[in-house]
């Protein structure tokens, strides 16, 4: 059988339910879909590939999924360090009003895509202004972006669309999308319970549910946010969302750092997922999300980087390492293990987006989003356990090849769909 692409010769970490590792394995890809995973010798006999990647001496794994980010914040990287969340927001909102245009967002997203592809990140959930420009930039680069209209009731929003006009605008956006492209789903973004009223949140969530869209919202990022919402509405953010009937399997909360036991139970009861952003949470002094308790309760937890202002990089592997380490600070070295951390960056992230049947593991029938990680560096040898190597030793610079939807975007550490020098120069002209 003729196929488009065969990746062969490396150890394939499938991240399936059994944690299968195929030694000297191969992944066969045709029309953007994984058609087979198995021993390299067997698949090499079965298939004739138009393009092949020799992964000998490498680890082949699913593409990493960034479940919470603001990609175009690459424009502001390094401009809001060593401040609290509230100080961060005060600065960033001012700069966004001054700097953001569709053209600037597109340039910043191209840089973010280049950085992400180099880091083995094959898709991201992006909450930001001018999502149309971001979507176009990602599409041109062949990268998988999950985005949509964002709601934040602030004076003079960068896109000039007042809140009272945003619902109609968002409806037109959702109608224009029609059937979601394979490997994506429509999404709406409500910034938070402190920038939107309960009535506004109810309207936004009703619109999203009319179209079967994913709902993404910041919630309980730090104690000050929780106190602000509690004073204003008499309930904590997650309590408020629950009381309004706005939690559910179509909802993904960003951060969820400051949670009570009953709130964790509510997330589990409603099937609400969480995007854990350990690097951003630490850098802003927000605290450490109760991920072990969330996992024990059965809550789906993915990993996110947040924007490149609060985390400074879009390195999901860095988030894997941080997630595997920071929760051990309480004295339990098993709190979040290596395998669990890697799963949060792959299959659990896909499930958090409601796309676990299409993304997140290397299995026949899923979209061909995958990474070839070079194991030749001294810090990666010997390879006793691929989960451990990924969580505690690997760096984004070890990524050699990145494939999205069967298309090779990074080959031998060279970007194929973006001119890196031009991308960097274009952004430098803006700052």
Of the listed ranges 71-85, 238-252, 305-319, 345-359, the least confidently predicted one is 71-85
pLDDT of residue 291: 98
Mean pLDDT, range 235-243, rounded to an integer? 98
Q: Is the pLDDT of residue 112 over 70?
A: yes
Q: Is the pLDDT of residue 179 over 70?
A: no
Question: Which residue's entry shows tokens 């298939």?
Answer: 47
pLDDT tens-place string over residues 297-308: 999 999 999 999
**CA angle (367 as vertex; 209, 129 as ends), nearest 5:** 45
Q: What is the mean pLDDT of the chain?
A: 96
pLDDT of residue 371: 98
Q: Work out the burial of residue 66: count CB atoms within 10 Å of its CB; fewer than 13 is exposed, 13-18 middle, 19 or more buried.
A: buried
Alpha helices in 284-346 (DSSP H): 291-297, 316-326, 338-344
What is the DSSP code (8-state) at residue 80? S
pLDDT tens-place string over residues 307-360: 999 999 999 999 999 999 999 999 999 999 999 999 999 999 999 999 999 999
pLDDT band at 48; cut points 50, 70, 90:
very high
Mean pLDDT, range 243-253, rounded to an integer? 98
Half-sphere exposure of 224 (CA within 13 A, CB side): 10
pLDDT of residue 289: 98
Sign of the Cα torsion 48, 5, 302, 356 reads: negative
pLDDT band at 149; cut points 50, 70, 90:
very high
pLDDT of residue 431: 77
pLDDT band at 395; cut points 50, 70, 90:
very high
**Token pair listed for 223:** 């104690």
pLDDT of residue 79: 85
pLDDT band at 180; cut points 50, 70, 90:
low
pLDDT of residue 160: 92
Percent of the chain with pLDDT over 90: 91
Percent of the chain with pLDDT over 70: 100
pLDDT of residue 156: 86
Tell me the C-alpha distance between 360 and 343, whole Å: 8
Mean pLDDT, range 383-403, rounded to an integer? 98
Mean pLDDT, range 236-259, rounded to an integer? 98
CB 332 within 8 A of CB 280: no
**Token pair listed for 417:** 């769909």
Q: In Å, what is the CA distance from 164 to each residue of 128, 160, 167, 392?
A: 18, 11, 7, 48
The structure's pTM equals: 0.97
Residue 310's nearest CA partner among 251, 255, 349, 353 is 255
> What's phi and psi for 203, nearest 5 deg?
-65, -45
pLDDT of residue 49: 98
Greatest Cα pair distance, the chain, in angstroms, is 67
Q: Is the pLDDT of residue 92 over 90?
A: no
- Cis, peptide link before residue 221, omega less than 30° from 0: no
């Amino acid at each position: 059988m003729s196929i488009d692409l065969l990746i062969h010769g490396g150890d394939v970490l499938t991240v399936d339910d059994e944690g299968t590792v195929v030694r000297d394995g191969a992944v066969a890809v045709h029309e953007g879909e994984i058609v087979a995973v198995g021993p390299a010798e067997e698949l090499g006999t079965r298939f004739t590939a138009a393009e092949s990647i020799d992964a000998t001496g490498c680890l082949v794994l699913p593409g990493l999924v960034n479940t919470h980010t603001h990609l175009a914040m690459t424009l502001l990287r390094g401009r809001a360090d060593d401040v609290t969340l509230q100080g961060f927001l005060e600065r960033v909102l001012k700069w966004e009003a001054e700097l953001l245009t569709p053209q600037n967002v597109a340039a910043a997203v191209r840089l973010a895509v280049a950085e992400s592809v180099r880091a083995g990140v094959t898709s991201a959930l992006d909450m930001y202004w001018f999502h149309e420009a971001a979507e176009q930039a990602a599409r041109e680069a062949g990268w998988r972006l999950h985005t949509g209209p964002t709601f934040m009731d602030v004076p003079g929003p960068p896109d000039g669309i007042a809140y009272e006009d945003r619902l109609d605008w968002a409806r037109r956006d959702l109608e224009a999308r029609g059937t979601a492209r394979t490997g994506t789903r429509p999404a709406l973004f409500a910034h938070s319970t402190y920038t939107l009223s309960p009535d506004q949140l109810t309207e936004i969530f009703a619109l999203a549910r009319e179209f079967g869209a994913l709902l993404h919202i910041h919630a309980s990022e730090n104690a000050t946010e929780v106190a602000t919402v509690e004073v204003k509405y008499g309930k904590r953010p997650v309590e408020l969302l629950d009381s309004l009937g706005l939690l559910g399997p179509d909802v993904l909360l960003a951060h969820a750092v400051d949670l009570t036991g009953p709130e964790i139970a509510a997330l589990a009861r409603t099937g609400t997922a969480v995007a854990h952003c350990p690097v951003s949470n630490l850098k802003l002094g927000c605290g450490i999300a109760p991920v072990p308790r969330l996992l024990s309760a059965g809550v789906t937890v993915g990993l996110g980087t947040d924007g490149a202002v609060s985390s400074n990089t879009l390195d999901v592997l860095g988030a894997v390492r941080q997630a595997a380490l920071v929760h051990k600070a309480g004295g339990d070295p098993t709190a979040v293990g290596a395998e669990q951390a890697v799963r949060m960056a792959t299959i659990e992230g896909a499930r958090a987006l409601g796309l676990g049947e299409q993304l997140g593991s290397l299995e026949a029938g899923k979209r061909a989003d995958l990474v070839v990680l070079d194991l030749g560096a001294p810090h990666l040898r010997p390879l006793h356990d691929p989960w451990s190597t990924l969580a505690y030793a690997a760096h984004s610079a070890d990524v050699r090849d990145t494939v999205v939807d069967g298309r090779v975007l990074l080959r031998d550490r060279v970007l194929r769909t973006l001119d890196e020098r031009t991308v960097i120069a274009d952004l430098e002209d803006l700052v």
